[in-house]
Structure 1
């Protein structure tokens, strides 16, 4: 009888360990999204933008998920991006800019659970084009949402991803 229980326990243990490695194994991503850059409170401001994400995405059971790689927002290429995603699947978007040789913050990025949708609260650049010294607000802040073909679709995607962490739906 003890042998039967040992076999059952061993089989369960192997299944749990197998599931753990399958779930947490890093996955390579190389995705291109066509999205919309828009300004809250200004329905006339809309710009098409291509967002490219290339790197490794790791799911963790007890900690937040992690992304390491590069993200391109139109012509802005951010290298060495290291995102420790919180319970909202978001983190501060910060990356290395080769042309200036520094790390810079660009905003806050939100992912869907399946990593197929993104929304970015984009900090306003200062007079020199530096996003990290800028700001963002829910009245007239810049946003990027992808994939999206229209401003309305982008706005709805942002509402879906951001939920109630920062923005109240009435403010969008």
Structure 2
């Protein structure tokens, strides 16, 4: 009886250990996505942007994910020096994470909340809710998207657990 437990237990423990390492092992990203910067409710005023993602994503064993690295959006003016734009983004159960920069300027600590972000499992689709966002006229960046309707489709999919009513 004990031999059967050991014979069965050891492979199960090995499978669980392998699964744990596989799920939680950090995944590296260094990619550029082409998308659009737009305002909800305004199909006319939008412009193309390039988004550089360079960092790693760690997944928790029981859910949750954390991104550490740099998300650089072309032509986006930030009050943060280029070399200090490293962020840690913890995604919640709705798939939303906050892009918040921390640092020290002139001897004083600061924080700068740039936006909220939603991303699929491998960061090939993202949508960013800029500033004090609302679902009627908020400013957004979505990639990969070439037009307003494609951006809304991607955003609704990524934000399905967050939004009560689709955009």
- Fold in common (TM above 0.5): yes
Measured in 2, the distance between the counterparts of 1:58 and 1:138 equals 29
Preserved CA contact (<8 Å) 2:28 2:57: yes
Give a deviation string over 1:124-165, Cα, whole Å, max 9, x none: xxxxxxxxxxx2222111111101111111111111111151
Aligned to 1:128: none
Q: 1:157 to 1:97 in 2, by over 3 A?
A: farther
- Pairing 1:106-145 to 2, within 5 Å after superposition: 106-123=114-131, 135-145=132-142
Q: 1:89 to 1:102 in 2, by over 3 A?
A: same
Instruction: Please tell me the root mean square deviation across aligned C-alpha atoms, in Å.
Output: 2.2
* Structure 2: distance between partners of 1:20 and 1:88: 23
Gaps of at least 5 residues in structure 1 are 124-134
Could you report, residue by residue, the CA deviation over 1:42-71 in whole angstroms, capped at 9, with x for unpaired residues?
A: 111111000111111001122521110111
Q: Quick check: 1:37–1:143 contact (8 Å CA) kept in 2?
A: yes
Shift of 1:97: 8.0
Note if 1:16 corresponds to 2:28.
no
Normalised by the size of structure 1, how large is the TM-score? 0.83
In the alignment, which residue of structure 2 is the partner of 1:75?
Answer: 75
2:94 is aligned to: 88
**Count of aligned pairs between the two proteins:** 159
